[in-house]
Amino acid sequence: MKNHRRLESGGRVDRSKRLNFSFNGRQYYGFEGDTLASALIANGVKVIARSFKYHRPRGIIGSGIEDPASLVELLDENASGNNLATTVILKDGLKAKSINCWPSVNFDFGSIIQYFPKLVPAGFYYKTFMWPNWHLFEPSIRKAAGLANAPQVPPKKGHFESRNAHTDVLVIGSGPAGLAASLTVAKTGVKVFLVDQNSEPGGNLLSSKLFINKQPAIAWVDDMVSELAKMDNVTHMQNSTAWAYREHNLIIVNEREVDNSSIIERSWRVRAKKVVIATGAIERALVFANNDRPGVMLASAVQTFVNRYAVKVGDNLVFFTNNDSVYSYIDDLENAGINILAIIDSRKKIPDQCLSRAKKIKVMANSILKNVNGYKQVRSINVQSLDTGKFETISCDLVAHSGGWNPAVHLHSQSRGSLKFNEKIAAFVPNKSIQNSINIGACNGTFALAEIFKETNQLMSKLSGEVKSESREDNFEVDEQHYSIEPLWSTDLSDEKEKAFFDIQNDVTYDDIQLALLEGYSNVEHVKRYTTGGMGFDQGKTGNINIIGAIAEQQGVGLDSVGTTTFRSPFTPVSFGSINGVRQGSVVLPFRHTPVTKWNLEKGAFMYEAGARWRRPGYFPKKEEGFQEAVNRECETVRYGVGVYDGSPLGKFELKGKDVGVFLDLIYTNIMSSLKPGAGRYGLMLSDDGLIFDDGVAFRIDENRWFISTSSGHSDAINQHMKKVLTFDRPDWDVKITNTTNQWNNATICGPLARQLLEKLSTNIDIDNEAFPFMTFREGMVAEIPARVIRVSFTGELSFEINVAPRNMLKLWEKIIEVGNEFKILPVGSEASHVLRVEKGFLSLGHEVDGTVDAYDLGMGWLMSKKKIDYIGKRSVNLRRGEKSKGRRELVGLLPHNPNEAIPEGAPITPKGKKVGTEGFTTACVWSVVNKRWVGLGLIEDGHSRHGEEACIRMKDRIIRAEITKPIFHDPDGKLLRS
Amino acid sequence: MLLINCPFCKERNETEFVYGGPVGVDRPDPNAVADQEWVDFLTLVPNPTGPVFEKWWHARGCGEWFVICRDTVTHEILESPDEKS
Amino acid sequence: MQNYSFFSLARNALSSHKNWQAAWRSPPLKEEYDVIIIGAGGHGLATAYYLAKEFGITNVAVLERGWLGGGNVARNTVTVRSNYLRDQSIPFYVKSVSLYEGLTKELNFNMMHSKRTMVDVVHNYPKMRDLRRRQLTMDIYNSTYEQITVEKVRQLIPALTGGGPGSRLPIIGGMVHKDAGVNRHDAVAWGYARAADSLGVEMHQKTGVTALLRASNGDIQGVETNKGVVKAKKVVVAVSGHTTTLTETAGLKLPLRTMNLTAFVSEPIKPIVDVIVNCSDLGFYFSQSDKGELVIGGAPDSAQSFRRDIKQHVFEDTVGAMLELFPSFKKLKLLRQWGGHLDITPDASPIMDETSVPGLYVTAGWWGGYKAIPAGGLTMAHHVAKNMPHPLMEAFTCNRFKNLDYILETGTTTAR
């Protein structure tokens, strides 16, 4: 097929660069510089898509982001759901197809619904499908949901990227205002970022044939752009949409057609001291019967297609307008060979400057376009004179309409700036800015080019004064005419049988709006939600204002008091990939590793994420060994031989200063200040509302130096907590805190043979039990590595926690494994650690502490110092307990009557096993290697006084019975860990 | 994403900070107040539509805690609650 | 009340839909009512409806500062479920879910309630244990929750192609909550409003309450509005986010902090996921609406805020997590995003109670309160009408904080 609607010359397409593409399976071609829309028009394609509700044929209506209907789906490499043909840059090999139609866009089965419009008015689904049940209807309605298909796979090639930028001034829009502003500000030397959503700079000047300083406007654009390009302080990006205006002048920009071909899209987070919004204006539609027929277009789009893309959209055109702008297109369109049959102008009095431009054309003042005839394309229109009431039919293939212009206030509004209604241009314009931003040009309601330059000059000199003292004055001489408008929110459609659309994508008609208002959905938000007007892909860029106008007219108030619906980000739809940037795979939420992680992986450990993003070994299965066998083997090794685990993730802090003792007394529930150097204690930390926050150990190094260790998952929170207390509650105390979590790694050897192993490793520390008792630490050499060895135990067995610098950790670990070989040492994972601590009844924050229990409930009341007058949480624990010590859930052991029956962790305990509110739950249950049976821990009401009684664990359809015991199943006197 | 002026590190992105809640009353002497006053201290926080003093921790920076005054409606960070925006 | 049905629609079609009645009247504001409800959001409207329907109290005015149904009921992610942790919470939400299921017929307004099933996608063992605990407790209350394998998760969510073995976020299994569903949020507000109106309740939009008024004995006696003083001996505050602003005018301080929660939707696409997908470890969840948009909820902003704003970094985290599991969404487009504010209590459970100001009732602290609208409305109406709390709401008092008796439900919102 040839480009039979392409003009022979002119436009900004490169006729030497032919690009082949396919649409709905047919082959076409266009040129470099085309959009898919202009190329389709050049090839005479009229029906692009089907609408959402009625499946009516949809053609191209606009020429850019404002188009409400020309949705296509892109296929293959560029697969992407809904795209406006008017914004798809034509590429060689591009494949696209129509959306929302079956079997084809030209014969769409779904369009049958349009013959029963009376049965599907706005909100019909709220009134029907209730009997017998919505569930019966939903599946078939759901099939009709959505427009395009979503891509089934991620892009095969390339990646997304995100960048941060800081700038003094961000200018959004490279139309006349934006370019002039950028240059003015850039000349003061400050950093300028200029972004624009179009493929080329110039904004509206690309579509017009105006003259600036007696040269074609486009030449002026080129001058400006090349001048900006010479300046180091200017970053200028096209194909870059500022789509979100966040707090503190953070603007998010989506850049496409990136200079690096491996980058699909790039996201910029631009933080600007000042934002200059120069986003132009968007032409709005008029509402008349069948205003959705292919061939009914926005007037500015017709001009753009002719001037910028050199395509002749139609042969015989009728204008319908309520403002001056269409009159300035006459020459351009006639030069392109378009026959202008009439201008229907709803105004009684048309300005002379307009009439003088339309001398040879039939101008019908005070007239209304009543109806469009034709289905898949315009055949003719009916026009009515409001003076005489008479109708006339005009045959034509193109209707170009203009309802006036809306300043693109989206970003201003997103920034929380307020709006006001400007009667002169019948549009909402920016009122007050909340953030440091200004609006210039058409988005500020200033439409005439000369005035835009004047305003830009004024505001920019002021701004330049703010950012730097020098500035310059530019004078521009332009030939553009003045703009005036008389609003026409809707033509009189009260007795019209054909549909007239406010929202062309979602098929929201005049009748729908009237019905919503009739039924009391009177607020603009109600109308939007009831009719779905403005909720489509275009978010109502051309149509919403007419809905607001219609509401105002019906309610007899001004548009100001109706107000707008909220302008939300994004300004235009933006891909999730670009928002996310490079963060994927291992960097999406990076793991934390220890020097032993790699060793663990090599040994076939089953690794998983533990708290605070640590990646830890769960267990080390041998070949063909299951979970339980592996865990049992590791547990038995610790109980009867010696095992080793990597305790590096434990939180570790060093505290220095003369007030550390009292500080620890404040943050722990027990007394730490009485510790002698070299000794330590286990302690609990509470939050001030009395909830258990962490458990850990504190050791004194010397008079003023201490270290503490905390659970791995809470170390950041504890760091935060300690510094918060010191900053705000005890600013006078002399305590310095250093987080040494990543400075100390440790390998903990545990089990009855631990001392023999340590001896074999060779150490200069006297490790005799009397010289180095439980809950003390010593510094010295272990396996020729400087180490701090601590006698703590989380397993109940004799343990030595050997702390070394990370650079020595792997060396130590490998040495332990090597030397430990003769003791049949095994590495121990988190699962075995869990079993070992349950056997001992040691606390695990993630299991036993669920926000309802305190230390007394856990049988740890001995940790709650009575001597100290205050520590964090003390008052609250006492207050919460009050007089009522009954009915609290207390920690107990659970021995299932059947020793071979496990109780699922988390299983509820109910009185007598009835299906009623719970009296507790199972916090943990493990196979005990020392008892050769399942043992559990649980929290149960008044548990401390119920030892020996039966607990009923209520499962869905059965009861597991267990004996309530003390929560300890191994070495109750703690002889082993002190041995 | 706020731009927070850390008194030690100057303006940094909010992602470097951890929010620490509004500044309420000072922690009373727990042995000198009635239950109600203690509970109020724990549970009642200022919740104004407008400027509020709040604590932030420069977790991924200098590690210090500090207080800023921020408008909960505009999110502006103010020198003082009286500052007109 | 005008009946809505296919037949009434067909009948009205004959008169070109010119004879429909307004869904609710706009009567003049009276000087006094039996009960004033502040806030025509979900909870306010439901309370008004049940006051009239269940307890015969019809001299009720709902006062709304903006537009009816414009609160959080207009800006949530429509997820209705009952998979809670605590004994105090589960039966309340079970009741709410069952009321939702009958609401379309009760109000003669199609909420399009769709029992879509929620699937929790789980990545770590502590989370799985936590959800299993929930399941075992919920079994007692006959609410459905069931553990499923990775294969079953992928079968229910075909678009879930990420999270394989060896990936950063390998899926270890899932949970299925068959009671969960989604519906049309606007319809919930409008349905309650219309039904309440037909029973005599008055809706007053653009009627902002500026202060609560107390009599000399301390009892509530009415409210001051932009349209003058309106009297009532009972006033219910149902103004999510702005609760403290209002109650402080009566000298009442409540343990609430206002925060911002956001959501977003994708472009409309043909159906790709039928269930509600919840990835609580990663902080996002979504379902696909009957319009084809993916409705996605994410993590809250931690700081106090009355600005319905999007935190870019929080939003990016949510999107990043989503793409890790659903890599084919990379070229899917964001269409619209928004925020809403809500107030949160120290234990993340709501307050539904008469306050220390006699006659002043508060329903607040809702965090995921959309699912609670029917049960919240019913129990508040019970409390107001009978001067005593409904058994299902008993735990959610103001006074629980006096003894620091928390009902900790942190971690039970759909995301985190």
pLDDT in tens, C75-95: 899 999 999 999 999 999 999
State CA A305 to chain mean position distance: 36
Specify the residue for token string 């006339």: A392
Q: Measured in Å, how far apart are chain C's first and last C-alpha atoms? A: 41
Unique residue bearing structure tokens 């105390």: A733
Task: Output the pLDDT for position A481.
Answer: 66
Nearest C-alpha of chain C: how many angstroms from A904?
9
Query: Is the Cβ–Cβ distance between A500 and A291 less than 8 Å?
Result: yes
Q: C268 and C160: one domain?
A: yes
pLDDT classification of A470: cutoffs 50, 70, 90: very low
Same domain membership, residue A494 and residue A461: no
Does the pLDDT at position A467 exceed 60? Answer: no
Q: Which residues of B touch C401 (CB under 8 A)?
A: 39, 43
Which residue, A963, A977, A817, is CA-closest to A898?
A963
Whether residues C304 and B1 touch (CB distance < 8 A) is answered with no
pLDDT for residue A50: 85
- Structural domain contains residue A869: no
Q: A716 in contact with B at a CB cutoff of 8 Å?
A: yes
- Please check whether residues A36 and A141 belong to one and the same domain: yes
What is the token pair recorded at A714? Answer: 């809470």
Average pLDDT rounded to a whole number, residues A68-83: 92
Distance from the first to the final alpha carbon of chain A: 93
Q: Between chains, do B22 and C304 touch, taking CB under 8 Å as contact?
A: yes
> What's the gap in Å between the CA of B2 and the closest CA on chain A?
6
Residues in chain B with CB shorter than 8 Å from the CB of A269 are: 1
pLDDT at A26: 95
CATH code of the domain in which C137 resides: 3.30.9.10
Do C306 and C201 lie in one domain? The reply is no
pLDDT value at C52 more than 60: yes
Q: How many angstroms separate the most distant Cα atoms in chain A?
A: 116
Q: Residue A469: which pLDDT band, with cuts at 50, 70 and 90?
A: very low
Is there a single domain that holds both residue C353 and residue C376? yes
Tell me what pLDDT residue A648 has: 96
**Residue A352 clears pLDDT 60, i.e. is over it:** yes
| C316/C327 Cα distance (integer angstroms) | 15
Q: What whole-number distance in Å separates Cα of residue A812 and Cα of residue A802?
A: 9
Q: Is the dihedral of CA B11, B15, B21, B27 positive or negative?
A: negative
Residues A680 and A603 in one domain: no
Q: Tell me, yes or no, whether A616 lies in a domain.
A: yes
**Domain boundary, last residue among C344, C365, C393:** C344
Distance from CA of C34 to the nearest CA of B (A): 30
Domain-embedded: residue C37: yes
CB-based contact B3 A875, cutoff 8 Å: no
Note whether C166 and C50 are same-domain residues: no
**Mean pLDDT value across residues A125-130:** 91
Q: Give the residue from chain C lying closest to B43, CA to CA.
A: C255
Tell me whether residue C309 is in a domain: yes
The answer to whether residue A733 sits within a structural domain is yes
Model confidence at B83: pLDDT above 50: yes
Q: Which two tokens stand for residue A251?
A: 């603007």
Q: In this structure, is residue C415 part of a structural domain? A: no
Determine phi and psi for A848, rounding to 5 degrees. -85, -20
Of the candidates C343, C349, C346, C352, the one whose C-alpha atom is nearest the C-alpha of residue C398 is C352
Q: Is residue B65 part of a domain?
A: yes
Which of 816-875 (A) contact B at CB < 8 A? 869-870, 874-875
Output A646 or A852, whichever has higher pLDDT. Answer: A646
Do A391 and A446 sit in the same domain of this protein?
no
Beta-strand pair C234-237/C35-38: parallel
* C207-241 residue pLDDT tens: 999 999 999 999 999 999 999 999 999 999 999 99
CA distance linking residue A194 with residue A224, whole number of Å: 12
Average pLDDT value for residue range A703-711 = 97
The answer on C165 and C57 residing in a single domain is no
In a domain, B83, yes or no: no
Distance, in Å, from the CA atom of A319 to the CA atom of A484, rounded to the nearest integer, reads 16
| Gap from A366 CA to chain C (nearest CA, Å) | 29
Do B47 and C312 count as a contact with CB atoms less than 8 A apart? Answer: no
Query: pLDDT band at residue A200, thresholds of 50, 70 and 90?
Result: very high
Same-domain check for residues A253 and A297: no
DSSP, collapsed to helix, strand or coil, labels residue B18 as strand
Whether A585 is covered by a domain: the verdict is no
Q: What is the pLDDT of residues C7-30, one digit of tens each?
A: 999 999 988 899 999 999 999 999
Residues A353 and A415 placed together within one structural domain of the fold:
no
Arithmetic mean of pLDDT, C316-320: 92
- Give the count of domains, chain A: 7
What average pLDDT does this structure show over A363-383? 96
- CA C128 and chain centroid, separation: 26
Q: What is the pLDDT of residue A493?
A: 86
CA distance B42 to chain A (A): 7
Most confident residue range from A895-899, C127-131, C280-284, C317-321: A895-899
pLDDT of A18 over the 70 cut? yes
Task: For residues A148 and C268, give the distance between their C-alpha atoms in angstroms, rounded to a whole number.
Answer: 7
How many whole angstroms separate alpha carbon C265 and alpha carbon A526? Answer: 19
- Token pair recorded at residue A81: 């759901």
Q: Across chain C, how many H-helices and E-strands are there?
A: 9, 20
Average pLDDT value for residue range A725-748: 97
Best interface-test mutation with C: which of A83, A130, A152, A914 has the largest number of C CBs within 10 A?
A: A130
pLDDT given for residue A879 in this prediction:
93
Strand partners, A785: A782
Q: How far apart are CA A537 and CA C334, in angstroms?
A: 10
Q: Do A127 and C332 touch (CB under 8 A)?
A: no
Residues C219, C248, single domain; the answer is yes
Listed in sequence order, the residues at least 6 apart from A772 whose beta carbon sits closer than 8 Å to its beta carbon are: A765, A766, A778, A789, A791
Chain B segment 36-75 residues within 8 A of C by beta carbon are: 36, 39-40, 42-45, 47, 49, 52, 54, 70, 72-75
Give the per-residue pLDDT at A474: 55
Tokens, residue C228: 């003058």
Q: Which residues of A touch B22 (CB under 8 A)?
A: none
Is C244 in CB contact (< 8 Å) with chain B?
Answer: yes
Distance CA A201, CA A173 (A): 8
Region label for A549, one of left (φ > 0), alpha (ψ between -120 and 50) or beta (otherwise): alpha
pLDDT tens digits, A291-339: 999 999 999 999 999 999 999 999 999 999 999 999 999 999 999 999 9
Nearest to A724 among B30, B31, B65 (CB): B65
Q: Which helix (H) or strand (E) holds A380?
A: strand A380-385
One domain, residues C191 and C295: no
Calculated CA dihedral for residues A107, A112, A117, A120, nearest 10 degrees:
-110
Taking only the tens place, the pLDDT of each residue in C189-208 is 999 999 999 999 999 999 99
CA–CA gap between residue C399 and residue C393 (Å, rounded): 13
On whether residue B55 sits in a domain, the answer given is yes
Q: Give the confidence band of C168 by pLDDT, cuts at 50, 70, 90.
A: confident
Query: Rounded distance, CA A103 to CA A91, Å?
Result: 27
Which residues lie closer than 8 Å to A103 by C-beta, 6 or more apart?
A109
In a domain, B71, yes or no: yes
- DSSP 8-state secondary structure symbol assigned to residue A729: I
- What is the pLDDT averaged over residues A129-138? 88
Interval A828-846 mean pLDDT: 95
Has residue A463 got a pLDDT over 80?
no
Put simply, whether A247 touches B (Cβ < 8 Å) is yes
For residues C148 and C120, give the distance between their C-alpha atoms in angstroms, rounded to a whole number: 9
**Lowest-confidence segment of A632-641, A732-741, A879-888, C375-384 by average pLDDT:** A879-888
Per DSSP, the residues of A65-85 read TT-SS-EEEE-GGG-EEEEET
Distance CA A707, CA A721 (A): 16
Chain position carrying tokens 């979504």 = C286
H helices present in A821-881, as ranges: 830-840, 845-848, 874-881
Give tens-digit pLDDT for C341-359: 899 999 989 999 999 999 9
Last residue of a domain, one of C299, C314, C344: C344
Residue C22 within a domain: no
Q: Looking at the predicted structure, is the pLDDT value of residue A102 above 80?
A: no
Q: What share of chain C is helix, strand, coil (3-state, %, to 5)?
A: 30, 25, 45
The total number of structural domains in chain B stands at 1
Please give the pLDDT value at position C281: 80
What CATH number corresponds to the domain at position C55?
Answer: 3.50.50.60
The residues near C25 (Cβ < 8 Å, ≥ 6 apart) are A520, C197, C202, C203
Verify that C38 and C76 share a domain, yes or no: yes
Is residue C37 predicted with pLDDT exceeding 70? yes
**Scanning every residue of chain C, which has its alpha carbon at the shortest distance from the alpha carbon of B36?**
C402
B72: chain C residues, CB-CB within 8 Å: 258, 304-307
Q: Angle C185-198/C373-386 helices, nearest 10 degrees?
A: 30
Least confident piece of the model among A40-54, A242-256, A461-475: A461-475
User: Is B13 part of a structural domain of the chain?
Assistant: yes
Radius of gyration of chain B (CA): 15
Structural domain of residue B19, as residue ranges? 3-78
Query: Which of A471-475, A777-781, B37-41 has the lowest average pLDDT?
Result: A471-475
Residue B85 included in any domain: no
- Say whether residue B8 is in contact with chain A using an 8 A CB cutoff: no
- A112 lies in the same domain as A176: no
Does residue A852 fall inside a structural domain? no
Q: Which of C296, C315, C344 is the last residue of a domain?
A: C344
Touching subunits for chain B (3+ Cβ pairs under 8 A): A, C
Peptide bond into A132 cis (omega under 30): yes
Structural domain includes residue A429: yes
Backbone φ, ψ for residue A207 (5° rounding): -100, -15
Match 């939400």 to its residue by tokens. C93
Residue C380 lies in a domain: yes
In DSSP terms, A71 is beta-bridged to A84
Domain contains C99: yes
pLDDT digits (tens, 9 = 90+) for C267-314: 999 999 999 999 988 889 999 998 899 999 987 888 999 988 899 999
| Domain match, C212 and C101 both | yes
Which CATH number characterizes residue A509's domain?
1.10.10
Half-sphere exposure of C413 (CA within 13 A, CB side): 27
Instruction: Specify whether the CB–CB gap between A827 and A617 falls below 8 A.
Output: yes
| pLDDT higher than threshold 70 for residue C411 | no
Residue A851 has a pLDDT of 80
Based on the fold, state whether residues A426 and A547 are members of the same structural domain.
no
Angle between helices A544-555 and A510-518 (to 10 degrees): 40
Residues of chain A positioned with their CB less than 8 A from the CB of B43: 689
Using pLDDT thresholds of 50, 70 and 90, give the confidence band for residue A886: confident
Domain count along chain C: 2
B35 CB neighbours in chain A (<8 A) are 879
Q: Does A269 touch chain B (CB under 8 A)?
A: yes
Residue C413 lies in a domain: no
Quick one: average pLDDT of A238-254? 97
Does a structural domain hold residue A376?
yes
Q: Are residues A294 and A393 in the same domain?
A: yes
- Identify whether residues A318 and A267 lie together within a single domain: no
Output phi, psi for C30, to 5 deg.
-85, 170
User: Which chain A residue is nearest to residue B12, measuring alpha carbons?
Assistant: A271
Range of the domain at C41: 6-17+27-109+184-254+347-403
Task: Look at residue B85 in the predicted model and tell me its pLDDT.
Answer: 47
Contact criterion met (CB below 8 Å) for A234 and A228 = yes
Alpha helices in A110-209 (DSSP H): 124-127, 134-143, 176-186
Tell me if residue C121 falls in helix, strand or coil: strand
Question: Between chains, do C137 and A908 touch, taking CB under 8 Å as contact?
Answer: yes
Beta bridge partners of B13: B3
Are residue A121 and residue A19 in the same domain, yes or no? yes
**Which stretches within C236-300 are classed as H helix?**
243-247
- Indicate the length of chain C as a whole number: 416
The pTM (predicted TM-score) of the whole model is 0.95
For residue B1, which residues of chain C lie inside 8 Å, CB to CB?
311-313
Under 8 Å CB pairs connecting chains A and C tally to 299
User: Which residue range is the domain that position A955 belongs to?
Assistant: 883-979
Q: Is residue A230 part of a domain?
A: yes
Residues A972, A888 share a domain: yes
Per-residue pLDDT at A546 exceeds 80: yes
Identify the CATH number of the domain in which residue B60 sits: 3.30.2270.10
Q: Choose among C82, C81, C256: nearest CA to C183.
A: C81
Q: Which of A361, A384, A402 is the last residue of a domain?
A: A402
pLDDT tops 60 at residue C414 = no
Q: Closest to A870 (Cβ–Cβ): which among B30, B57, B85?
A: B30
In a domain, C128, yes or no: yes
Instruction: Give CA–CA dist B77/B70, Å, rounded.
Output: 4
* Residue A450 confidence class, pLDDT cut points 50, 70, 90: confident
Average pLDDT, chain A: 93
Work out the angle at residue A655's Cα, subtended by the Cα atoms of residues A651 and A657, and round it to the nearest 5 degrees: 175
What number is the average pLDDT over the span A233-246? 98
- Which residues of chain A does C269 touch, with a Cβ-Cβ cutoff of 8 Å? 81-82, 146-150
Q: Which two tokens stand for residue B30?
A: 């727990």
The CA distance from A615 to C169, in Å, is 11
Say if CB A249 and CB A277 are below 8 A apart.
no
Using the Cβ of C245 and the Cβ atoms of chain B, whether some distance falls under 8 Å is answered with yes
* pLDDT tens track for C204-216: 999 999 999 999 9
Share of chain C above pLDDT 90, in %: 85
CATH number at A919 reads 2.40.30.110
**Cβ contact, residue pair B1, C312, below 8 Å:** yes
